[in-house]
Amino acid sequence: QVQLVESGGGLVQAGDSLRLSCAASGRAFSSYAMGWFRQAPGKERDIVAAINWTGSNTYYADSVKGRFTISRDNAKNMVYLQMNSLKPDDTAIYYCAADARRGWYLAVSRREYDYWGQGTQVTVSS
């Protein structure tokens, strides 16, 4: 079983930056692909970014390209989401997720991820 715990959310103003962190339990973290998703009220949970097991390949949703950066530290069992130039439309609960079956693959559907954190709220005021 893998446990994921997100942190770093908060209330910020448009244009500000935040760094989300996700701490993972277990020895197999370095074999997992990881993703960040977000869900705004009344909307679906959508992919924000994904990273493969080595960190050599990444994916970004069009809405965050050039503003967000996903990274990981396998020695620390951590994955990060650096969010710059935040906009009110970025307001959502942000979730960390692990794809334990295909570490090389950048899955974009939430159905392809096996483990989820509890989420952290990000609110961007205008």
With a cut of 90, say whether residue 26 has pLDDT above it.
Answer: no
Average pLDDT, the chain: 97
CA distances from 97 to 36, 79, 124 (A): 6, 10, 22
What pLDDT sits at residue 16? 98
With a cut of 90, say whether residue 81 has pLDDT above it.
Answer: yes
Q: How far is it, in rounded angstroms, from Cα 104 to Cα 32? A: 8
Residues 50-67 have pLDDT tens digits of 999 999 999 999 999 999
With a cut of 90, say whether residue 72 has pLDDT above it.
Answer: yes
